[in-house]
Amino acid sequence: MGSCRNLVFLSHILINVVGLIVSQPDFLFIDCGEGFGNYTTNSTYQTNLDTLLFSLSSNINSYGFYNTSSGENPDRVNVIVLCRGDVDLDTCRGCISNATSKITQDCPNSKEAIGWYNLCMARYSNESIDGQVKTSPMAK
């Protein structure tokens, strides 16, 4: 009888831990760039996007910033990530890891998206990002 209770207790803990690992916190603000088009599932654009998003958190510099691009037009993906200046590097990397996992869940197949957490932000686009002033979308 005791071992059955222990098994139920341990399975409950395991389910909760797996749920925490799989789920990502919600963005404070997200914009999926409606009007910029969508990419096709399993396309070259998606491959470029997934490759960039997977590697971002490990490439962030000590200032909490990183930008990169991959591919050729029309499948070129541009990505930028940034953490608040008072965030230590490990916390920044964790935030960016969450953001890059969550952004494609919240904006499936969008060619442009931006998501903000309190500590960091992530943005990707099929248009140039580097050195471009953009006043929208704005956090509300």
Segments making up each domain of the chain, as ranges: 26-125
Q: What is the residue-wise DSSP string for 50-97?
A: HHHHHHHHHH--TTSEEEEEES-TTS-EEEEEEE-TTS-HHHHHHHHH
Residue 10: pLDDT band with limits 50, 70, 90: very low
Instruction: Note the pLDDT of residue 129.
Output: 78
Checking if the pLDDT of 137 tops 70, the result is: no
Give 71 or 6, the one with higher predicted confidence: 71
CATH number of the domain located at residue range(s) 26-125 in this protein: 3.30.430.20
Return the CA Rg of the chain.
18
Mean pLDDT for 122-133 is 82
pTM: 0.78
The predicted-structure confidence for 16-43, as pLDDT tens digits, reads as follows 434 434 567 999 999 998 888 999 999 9
The H-or-E segment that residue 123 falls in is strand 120-125
What proportion of the chain, given as a percentage, has pLDDT over 70?
A: 76
The predicted-structure confidence for 66-113, as pLDDT tens digits, reads as follows 999 999 999 999 999 999 999 999 999 999 999 999 999 999 999 999
